[in-house]
Amino acid sequence: MTPLRNRKIVLAARPAGEPKTSDFTLIEEELSDPGEGRALLRTLYLSLDPYMRGRMSAGKSYAPPVEIGDVMVGGAVSEVLRSSVVGLSPGDIVEGRTGWQAYAIAEGSGLRKVDPALGPVSTALGVLGMPGMTAYTGLLNLGQPKPGETVVVAAASGAVGSVVGQIAKIKGCRAIGIAGGQRKCDHVVNELGFDACLDHRSPDLADRLKAACPDGIDVYFENVGGAVFDAVLPLLNPFARVPVCGLIAHYNDVAPPPGPDRLPGLMRLVLSNRLMLRGFIVGDFAEQRGEFLEAMSRWIREGRVKYREDIVEGLEKAPEAFIGLLKGENFGKLLVRVAS
């Protein structure tokens, strides 16, 4: 059998501030035989997600950084080409963290079969994958929404935020989204069913948010930080819950923001209003995967949850698309189609 040539994107340099295309390199190499207990995979879809920016840096985090010269980390949906893994056969579709590459060799322990009956296989990286499960577990376990409460969601047109708001509506809450631009806000209200959506670029965001939340905010699902959090903070009701999922406004920071130390003021509000702020990683709730898939696939079939995918064609486009993601240029779950 003619050896396969793999194309992969590796980390070429650690970015200072915003990543640049020169921080990535596309290389080709011959693939070795997968060997016993492993499978040879052909990547169909690659997921691009904000957390990858943190993995490009050497600082301490919840997961180790990508080393210079290593393939960029990322989830992918792939087709099994060859396998000596029990339970995996050629033609099976799997999801795993195989990275930014056209082919991968992986052990079975890091792979999950994708059930095409649940939806298009791309959804295993979006609404039926890590982003959807992040929304489900973060909102329900930490946000604990109750009927009649007001739930505010940052990055409301994105892969996580869009699902958070729709689950909030299913649970009987008012859902207020914050997104970048009128087009995204129109989608959030007219297609996803949020009660309102505000453009985070508006100079009067704080006033608009206050008008949209006359009874205050009971749950704020944090994806962004920055000016959005500044607008939300004064409106948090006593005993409000704030699941902290991401801080994309700060991922490219190279120094603390200018101005006075605002931590004492924040902590005073946390104390006086008995606020709950808790960061989480979706893996904290891994045991709820089956429950999540059952509920989310049912809501999709019933039309109660809708999703949007932003698909870029070609592995070589991944760096540019990822840089755009950090600037909010995507519209929906961002994917790279690597092969048909």
Residue 41 has pLDDT above 70, yes or no: yes
Query: pLDDT tens for residues 202-261?
Result: 999 999 999 999 999 999 999 988 889 999 999 999 999 999 998 877 777 767 777 788
How far is it, in rounded angstroms, from Cα 116 to Cα 109?
A: 20
- Per-residue pLDDT at 2: 62
Instruction: Report pLDDT for 1.
Output: 53
Question: How many other C-beta atoms can be found within 10 angstroms of the C-beta atom of residue 195?
Answer: 18
**pLDDT reported for residue 254:** 67
User: What is the pLDDT at residue 304?
Assistant: 97
Q: For residue 30, what pLDDT is reported?
A: 92
Q: Is the dihedral of CA 71, 108, 92, 130 positive or negative?
A: negative
Encoded amino acid at 174, one letter? R
DSSP 246: -
Give the model's pLDDT for residue 261. Answer: 83
SS3 of 89-108: the string is CCCCEEEECCCCECEEEEEH
Secondary structure (3-state) at 77: strand
pLDDT value at position 256?
77
Give the pLDDT band (50/70/90) at residue 277: very high
Where does residue 259 rank: exposed (0-12), middle (13-18), buried (19+ CB within 10 A)? exposed
Which residues have CB under 8 Å from 126's CB, separation 6+?
47, 132, 159, 307, 309, 333, 335
End-to-end alpha carbon distance in the chain: 22
Distance CA 141, CA 132 (A): 14
What is the mean predicted confidence (pLDDT) over 103-123? Answer: 92
What does the buried/exposed string (b/e) look like for 94-125 if buried means 16 or more CB atoms within 10 Å of the residue's CB?
Answer: bbbebbbbbbbbbebeebeebeeebbebbbbb
For 210-236, letters b (16+ CB in 10 Å) and e give eebbeebbbbbbbbbbebbbebbbebb
* Distance, CA of 281 to CA of 164 (rounded, Å): 15
The rounded percent of the chain whose pLDDT value lies above 90 is: 82
Average pLDDT of the residues of the chain? 93
The residues with which 112 forms a beta bridge, in sequence order, are 95
Q: pLDDT, tens digit, for every residue of 301-328?
A: 999 999 999 999 999 999 999 999 999 8
Say whether pLDDT at 165 is over 90: yes
| Statement: residue 189 has pLDDT above 80 | yes
Percent of the chain with pLDDT over 70: 99
**Residue 246, pLDDT score:** 86
**What tokens were used for 276?**
């709950």
